[in-house]
Amino acid sequence: MALRCRLGEPAAFAELVARMERPLLYFARSIVRDDDAAMDVLQAVWMTAFRGLRRLEEPSALRTWLYRVTRGHAVGHVRRDVARASAERSLAEDAEEASPPEDDGRFDAEDAAAVHRALDALDVRHREVLVLHFLEDMPVADVAAVVGCPPGTVKSRIFHAKRALKEALRRQGHGT
């Protein structure tokens, strides 16, 4: 698909968007913590991808490159502090509404919502490695390429992020 996109085939780019839009949107949302801001980031990602695909030296790295572009735009968005105030208010409201679930041993929609709230509470460096590695099923080497650090650092961040996630869940009343 990357080769077809590099050749300028409109259908190939449309196929790329259809295939990657949801995971990239989720990843962007995990960084900016706001649905509208994530959509803005994704729009910028597709503009960058459309312009930059022809210069992509290694077509096999397309997926990793798209995540790297998404991360760059999302981090830039956060640095400009456009989404931060809204996200912090939303997180505070979610934390107030959280109540411990009945423990029946099953993972339900409420548990998933608690995990997402806990992810939102994490530092962006921890959140992005957890999302990429566990939710997007990326190997550590690919996560390292996306976030721009060595694989050992990614492993360390995953370790610390899992501990921070567990603590955030415990604070919500979902811990063991």
Q: What CATH topology corresponds to 2-79?
A: Rna Polymerase Sigma Factor; Chain: A (1.10.1740)
Q: What is the pLDDT of residues 99-146, one digit of tens each?
A: 444 555 566 677 778 888 888 888 889 988 988 888 888 889 999 999
pTM of the predicted protein model: 0.61
Confidence (pLDDT) at 135: 81
Residue 75 pLDDT > 50: yes
Q: Where in the chain is the domain with CATH 1.10.1740.10?
A: 2-79
Identify residue 139 by its one-letter amino acid code.
P
- Higher local confidence (pLDDT), 105 or 40: 40
Rounded CA separation 88/50 (Å): 33
The residues near 53 (Cβ < 8 Å, ≥ 6 apart) are 2, 5, 6, 13
Q: Where in the chain is the domain with CATH 1.10.10.10?
A: 98-171
Architecture of domain 98-171: Orthogonal Bundle (1.10)
Residue 28 pLDDT > 50: yes
Task: Name which of 154, 92, 95, 89 is nearest 128 in CA terms.
Answer: 154
The residues near 56 (Cβ < 8 Å, ≥ 6 apart) are 2, 6, 62, 65
